[in-house]
Structure 1
Amino acid sequence: MNTPVTDIPLSPRVRAGYGLGSVTTGSFGTVPGLMLLPYLTDTLGVAAALAGLIVFLPKAWDVVLNPIVGRISDRSTDPRGPRRPFLLLGGLPLALCFALLFAGPPLGSTALDALWVLVMFLLCATAYAFFQVPYMAMPAEITDSYHERTRLMSWRVGILAFTIMLAGASAPAVRDAFGGQSGYRVMGVLIGVLLLLGVIGSYRGTRTAPIRTASESAGTMREQLRLISSDRAFRLLLIVFVVQALASSTMLASVDYAARWVLEDEGAATALFVCFVGPALLLTPAWGRLGQRLGKRRGYLLASLVWIAATPLLFWAGSSATWWVYTVAALAGIGYSGMQLFPMAMMPDIAAQDARRSGDNRSGVYTGIWTAGETLGMALGPGLYALVLAVGHYRSADSFETIAQQPDSALTAVALGFSLLPSLLVALSLIPLLRYREPQQLP
């Protein structure tokens, strides 16, 4: 039963319960970008360009679907709350489909194996949209307090950082422990269980939250999109976020290839990932305090500059000492942690200001467009990296699970996508970020 939303602080149970949803978003946002491309090229033998397309298309579908899901949840009148039922509606099929993604039956051809992955990943992406968009729209309806929403988001960011590191580090380790396609199958089931834990935890954990019924905003879907697209602050921040999501997902897609071909140590994939993501566990509160002192925009700029300075140095990882490579990766991770925190904290400010100005609740539509942009950036990253590999004449597996030897051009492509390309993309994102002006702070 819904209860009135007030400025009374939320209970730790509700804060933690909401934060558990990040176990689902963090796992699904990380593992496919890290594991799916090498699974297609180096296990199933799919050509790099086609593999990139398979990874991209389901995410491109989410770009269209996410705003529609946001509008649907805006109009929900379920007595459990407008968003909460979608956690189960999207989350349960997501966990099942993800377990099946890497567990295709023996179909007898590379083409059919690739088709299985495409269909299952499309189902995963559809289910994820129905979980993610309502989940991210919930904070505005759990509490009216600006500071309580900040505390609520801090739980989410902390659990998200831990989950990204846990899922991203364990996925390649489990695959390597079992080996080959069997390793991918075991990994898929384990991550599917992790997704399920996040779904059930967030649904049960928010059952006592004072969630109000969303007030339906006026106008058609097209009119809502037009109004939001006219919001200059939101438009600029979204561009920055999408380009940086493209940069980080390109880096994510490159980790397995860099470990194998640049560092010549497949086990290094887990260590590299921990170096990239681990700083978020330790430094997110520090970035938050710095943002309070300097402002969120300046903090975001500083975090981006740290990334830009560190990532080009990874181009010479193959000729550098291992400890130096991990140190540089950790420095890039320091920038990455701030690049994750600040836009996540800035977008609700924009949506809240719009609600004050217009009197309409468009949080679902705002969130739908935001997650569509994130999805687009995360989808384009592996596709872009696959294109770089194709240009470098990267050789997919010669036969089932038989890794090909690579020409020098492919090794150069692996290194470029691991270093200079992500740095250049974040540098380009600074152009709209410098033009961004923060909205007036809410009381």
Structure 2
Amino acid sequence: MEGSRHRGGRSVTPPEDRVPLRQKVGLGAGGLAAFFGYAGVSTLAYPVYNMTLGVSAAAVGVALLVPRLWDAVSDPLMGRITDNAHTRWGRRRPFVMLGAPLMGLLFVAIWYAPPAWSDNAQLAWFIAAQLLFFTAYTVFAVPFGAMSYEMTPDHHERTRVMAFLAFFHKIGELLSGWMLPLAALLGVAIVGAAVVPAPGEQQRIPIEGVHAMAWIVGLVFLAGFGVLPALAVRGGSRAAPAAVAAAGPKVKLVEGLRAAAGNAAFLLLVGVIVLNTLSGVLATGIDQYLLVYYMSDGNQADGLVQKGLLTTGYGVVGFASIPLISWYATRFGKKQALYAVYGLMAVGGVAKWFVFTPGHPRVELFGLSLDPVILIDPLLCGPMWVAVKILLASMMADVCDEDELRHGQRREGLFGAVFSWLEKTVVSVAYLGTGLALAATGFEVAKGAAQSDATFTGMRLFLAGAPTATALLAIAVLRFYPLTAERADATRATLEARRGRG
């Protein structure tokens, strides 16, 4: 097999390397479950445990970080298990099928901390339920990520496969922004009437609505969509043939981690995802507080509607960006595409200072008062999230080929596990950073909209500064990334020749 053919100076994917549409869609549907798995908890943690139950923001941030200590053990261990598994259904599918329904049920349990309990008891429940949930998530997500890396051996077809994942990821992002408004509506429907706060108290989401919304997310998006990759995607692939994987030596945990730590291309991708996630999640956490307490005078319902509008904007821009980014990366290269979107994000970071401020003209639509100016934010920052989802995953698949070239083993599971743990850890650290940033600015949830001007100014500086700085740093890091399309094609040709001799 000669690998990608070239036409007009560009590599062209051979027909035999193309992944069938059914498998791309099935894999992409699993991306919806993966999104709600790692983002759903962090998205709901502060609104439910801080805004609704009244637990301190800093304590919630610490609680989000605790499960990452367990993940540091469970994720690489799961990577080793799935890399060494050889069943009649393949190395990945049985774990995906098992993990999806488990994490769906355990996601629901996270939000059932009794409101009458003390803050410490509620935190203990939150941490314990998270530990169980993220164990199930590891069983699902690590094999699922490895499955996506080994769908095809072609450098550019990998980008197209990841575009399907990005499409469903954007659906998840679009829907996740409406989880809290949905919880509020369901709560009103279940309770029977809107809960009117006493004078001086804030309007809070009925906890019954949170429970109902969690059941929908758990059963439909985590369990339901999560099992689809196991049904649609066959075990093994031309990128990681089952026979080659089975014939090779067993993957050893310490040896694999050492190899990952010594892989320069992998470490550079890790650096990019760390910068990207820290920036984005910090902004996501703080923008929600600004929308509620700064731009909506403490009205949770109004602020969360604005958050839903903002998330919808990110979803629409993301959908529109998927074909453009896939085309651009195929035409000019994955690294060049990342340069472009990070440059746009740096501009968007500066724009946040002017976007997230009150006083913009409002538009009345379906009885809702909407601030259209906030849609400038997704126009500038939205393409980056799609590009990262498509291109970093595609580049990770190239890194796995480089690893086999150097060490003679297929270790998608182990590399994916390290990557998954880092992503979850950075998300948790960023949300902890949100809590610490809120504390540093002097924010107190009990004050509602009556925060000082200095507090709101500090929050806006965090919101604007984080994406601007991290985008520029990501561009600097990417300059050293070594894997090009030509090098990927050469690596693949060497691997297939080696396998043929075996």
Task: Report the TM-score when normalising by structure 2.
Answer: 0.80
The structure-2 alpha-carbon separation of the partners of 1:431 and 1:328, relative to structure 1 and needing over 3 Å to count, comes to same
Given that 2:293 and 2:449 are in contact with CA atoms closer than 8 Å, whether structure 1 keeps it comes out as no
* Matches for 1:73-88 after TM superposition, within 5 Å: 73-88=82-97
- Equivalent residue, structure 2, for 1:3: none
* Cα deviation, residue 54, structure 1: 0.9
* Matches for 1:90-109 after TM superposition, within 5 Å: 90-109=99-118
1:318 aligns with 2:357: yes
Given that 1:255 and 1:272 are in contact with CA atoms closer than 8 Å, whether structure 2 keeps it comes out as no
* Cα deviation, residue 196, structure 1: 1.1
Q: Any gaps of 5 or more consecutive residues in structure 2?
A: 1-14, 188-204, 297-301, 361-370, 493-502
Given that 2:294 and 2:449 are in contact with CA atoms closer than 8 Å, whether structure 1 keeps it comes out as no
Distance of 2:443 and 2:159 partners within structure 1: 45
Distance of 1:163 and 1:61 partners within structure 2: 26
Given that 2:150 and 2:412 are in contact with CA atoms closer than 8 Å, whether structure 1 keeps it comes out as no
* Cα deviation, residue 121, structure 1: 1.5
- Equivalent residue, structure 2, for 1:191: 217
* Cα deviation, residue 143, structure 1: 4.3
- Equivalent residue, structure 1, for 2:180: 172
- Equivalent residue, structure 1, for 2:320: 282
Query: CA deviation digits over 1:33-67, x for unaligned, max 9?
Result: 22212222211211121111011221343244212
Distance of 2:135 and 2:117 partners within structure 1: 27
Query: CA deviation digits over 1:150-185, x for unaligned, max 9?
Result: 44323222222222212x222122123233322222
Given that 2:155 and 2:488 are in contact with CA atoms closer than 8 Å, whether structure 1 keeps it comes out as no
Q: Bigger CA drift: 314-323 or 259-268?
A: 314-323
Q: Aligned match of 2:231 in 186, 204, 207?
A: 204
* Cα deviation, residue 208, structure 1: 7.9
Task: Report the AA paired with residue 173 of structure 1.
Answer: P
- Equivalent residue, structure 1, for 2:282: 250
* Cα deviation, residue 390, structure 1: 0.9
The structure-2 alpha-carbon separation of the partners of 1:206 and 1:413, relative to structure 1 and needing over 3 Å to count, comes to same
Distance of 2:157 and 2:386 partners within structure 1: 22
The structure-2 alpha-carbon separation of the partners of 1:113 and 1:397, relative to structure 1 and needing over 3 Å to count, comes to farther
1:385 aligns with 2:425: no
Structure 2 SS opposite 1:339? helix
* Cα deviation, residue 430, structure 1: 2.8
Task: Report the AA paired with residue 170 of structure 1.
Answer: W
Q: Bigger CA drift: 339-348 or 58-67?
A: 58-67
Q: Aligned match of 1:34 in 23, 28, 43?
A: 43
1:121 aligns with 2:130: yes
Count of aligned positions:
433
- Equivalent residue, structure 1, for 2:269: 237
The structure-2 alpha-carbon separation of the partners of 1:189 and 1:78, relative to structure 1 and needing over 3 Å to count, comes to same
Given that 2:84 and 2:251 are in contact with CA atoms closer than 8 Å, whether structure 1 keeps it comes out as no
* Cα deviation, residue 437, structure 1: 2.1
* Matches for 1:291-310 after TM superposition, within 5 Å: 291-310=329-348
Task: Report the AA paired with residue 197 of structure 1.
Answer: G
Root mean square deviation of aligned Cα: 2.4
The structure-2 alpha-carbon separation of the partners of 1:254 and 1:60, relative to structure 1 and needing over 3 Å to count, comes to farther
* Matches for 1:18-167 after TM superposition, within 5 Å: 18-166=27-175
* Cα deviation, residue 284, structure 1: 1.3
Query: CA deviation digits over 1:116-155, x for unaligned, max 9?
Result: 1111112111111111110011135444455554443232
Structure 2 SS opposite 1:360? coil
Structure 2 SS opposite 1:436? coil
Q: Any gaps of 5 or more consecutive residues in structure 1?
A: 1-5
Distance of 1:414 and 1:275 partners within structure 2: 22
Task: Report the AA paired with residue 468 of structure 2.
Answer: S
Given that 2:166 and 2:386 are in contact with CA atoms closer than 8 Å, whether structure 1 keeps it comes out as no
Q: Bigger CA drift: 208-217 or 240-249?
A: 208-217
Query: CA deviation digits over 1:194-245, x for unaligned, max 9?
Result: 2111122222223588673643545631121112211111111211111111
Task: Report the AA paired with residue 379 of structure 1.
Answer: S
Structure 2 SS opposite 1:435? coil
Structure 2 SS opposite 1:406? coil
Query: CA deviation digits over 1:361-405, x for unaligned, max 9?
Result: 12111111111221122111111111100111221348xxxx574
Task: Report the AA paired with residue 229 of structure 1.
Answer: A
Distance of 1:283 and 1:93 partners within structure 2: 33
Task: Report the AA paired with residue 54 of structure 1.
Answer: A
Distance of 2:63 and 2:323 partners within structure 1: 37
* Cα deviation, residue 286, structure 1: 0.3
- Equivalent residue, structure 1, for 2:295: 263
Given that 2:261 and 2:267 are in contact with CA atoms closer than 8 Å, whether structure 1 keeps it comes out as yes
Given that 2:251 and 2:411 are in contact with CA atoms closer than 8 Å, whether structure 1 keeps it comes out as no
* Cα deviation, residue 347, structure 1: 1.3
Structure 1 SS opposite 2:91? coil
- Equivalent residue, structure 2, for 1:395: 444
Q: Bigger CA drift: 269-278 or 67-76?
A: 269-278
Q: Bigger CA drift: 104-113 or 285-294?
A: 104-113
Distance of 1:362 and 1:199 partners within structure 2: 23
Q: Bigger CA drift: 214-223 or 187-196?
A: 214-223
Distance of 1:164 and 1:239 partners within structure 2: 23
Distance of 1:334 and 1:145 partners within structure 2: 24
Structure 1 SS opposite 2:445? coil
Structure 2 SS opposite 1:96? helix
Structure 1 SS opposite 2:409? coil
Query: CA deviation digits over 1:72-119, x for unaligned, max 9?
Result: 111112221111111133222110111111122345312211211111
Given that 1:307 and 1:336 are in contact with CA atoms closer than 8 Å, whether structure 2 keeps it comes out as no
